[in-house]
Amino acid sequence: MTRRKPGKQKTDDGGSPPSPSHAQPKPSPELSASAIGVESERTDTRHASKPAPGLYLAATPIGNLADVTMRVIDVARAADVIACEDTRVTGRLLRRYGITAPMVSYYEHNAAKVRPGLLRRLQGGDVVVLMSDAGTPLISDPGYRLVGDAIDAGHGVFPLPGPSALLAALQVSGLPTDRFLFCGFLPSKSAARKKQLAQIKDVPATLVFYESPRRLPAVLSDMADVLGARAAAVARELTKLHEDVRRGPLMQLADAFQHSGPPKGEIVIVVGPAGQRDDDAEDVDTLLLRSLETLSVRDAAAAVADVTGISKRTVYERALELSKGTRS
């Protein structure tokens, strides 16, 4: 839906009306695309026409600034205001591409206060761009209410798709991509976390979680307890200098990060679907179940830890879980 722009209105959201430098200059005839024989795919954004008024949801890089799309740059250059979480973070991206549109900070704790001003701007026919610090807005980031209110008020809402840690991690996980459930962040306390994991335990889809590196060892261990023997991947610092993806059974990953301690950087955990067990993990479970037929939990865990090289503590926890099933 395109809306006629009834002239500029004053805003109360901290943003300011666009400076003259954002007005789109008319292409001079000698430089126009058709004059130089290019009918489409113009990349010289100085001559791009002003986007339709509305709310633009612009994905930004999750590490590598070169991952921004040309469309995001075009629309951001023409924006009347860019609403973003931290103006210092977004400012770095904007400076890199010579974007001088005014920014207004829009984050969880000021959203209710700033939102009416953004809606008034939309009402006035402005181009409002929403950006997160990194990745796709609304994906574990602010924007959901703004989008809802903009839709309710009849404004145009347009996606500018691009990077998201969720999809980048899923792609490199090596796990099934045909069906997945994005679970966002789990609760920080173990009991609440396990409760939530139990709720999604039987979902026949790959599970994707955002997580803080500090909690990673404990979270993987809870996942191994509740979700059982499944293939998983820990994707860290995607698109950055220290990009790293570890793949393996949940139990082994839990064990590895318990030994190495919490890693640095940003993390996505991807876990294979219910009903699809990891071959290596299955080996551990098979060995444990066989050992539990004749040995105590402690002795079975010690024997299997010895054979597999996984720590006694991790195997013991798994043996306890399995023994509940076999001995109840």
Pick from 68, 130, 166, 234 the residue near ligand SAM by CB under 6 A.
166
The answer to whether 132 contacts ligand SAM (rule: CB under 6 A) is yes
Task: Annotate the chain with three-state secondary structure.
Answer: CCCCCCCCCCCCCCCCCCCHHHCCCCCCHHHCCHHHCCCCCCCCHHHCCCCCCEEEEECECCCCHHHCCHHHHHHHHHCCEEEECCHHHHHHHHHHCCCCCCEEECCCCCHHHHHHHHHHHHHCCCEEEEECCCECCCCCCCCHHHHHHHHHCCCCEEEECCCCHHHHHHHHHCCCCCCEEEEEECCCCHHHHHHHHHHHCCCCCEEEEEECHHHHHHHHHHHHHHHCCEEEEEEECCCCCCCEEEEEEHHHHHHHHHHHCCCCCCEEEEECCCCCECHHHHHHHHHHHHHHCCCCHHHHHHHHHHHHCCCHHHHHHHHHHHHHHHCC
Question: Please, which residue, 5 or 214, has the CB nearer to ligand SAM?
Answer: 214
Closest residue to ligand SAM, judged by C-beta, is 135
Contacts with ligand SAM, 264-293, as mask; x by CB under 6 A: --xxx-------------------------
The answer to whether 257 contacts ligand SAM (rule: CB under 6 A) is no
Contacts with ligand SAM, 72-111, as mask; x by CB under 6 A: ----------------------------------------
Estimate to the nearest angstrom the gap between the alpha carbon of 105 and the chain centroid: 20
The answer to whether 134 contacts ligand SAM (rule: CB under 6 A) is yes
The answer to whether 136 contacts ligand SAM (rule: CB under 6 A) is yes
The answer to whether 238 contacts ligand SAM (rule: CB under 6 A) is yes
The answer to whether 139 contacts ligand SAM (rule: CB under 6 A) is yes
Question: Please, which residue, 164 or 314, has the CB nearer to ligand SAM?
Answer: 164
Question: Please, which residue, 63 or 273, has the CB nearer to ligand SAM?
Answer: 63
Nearest approach, Cβ of 98 to ligand SAM (angstroms)?
Answer: 24
With CB under 6 A as the contact rule, which of the stretches 89-97, 160-168, 200-208, 214-222 interacts with ligand SAM?
A: 160-168
With CB under 6 A as the contact rule, which of the stretches 1-9, 27-35, 131-139, 153-161 interacts with ligand SAM?
A: 131-139
Residues in touch with ligand SAM (CB under 6 A):
62-63, 132, 134-136, 139-141, 164-166, 210-211, 235-240, 266-268
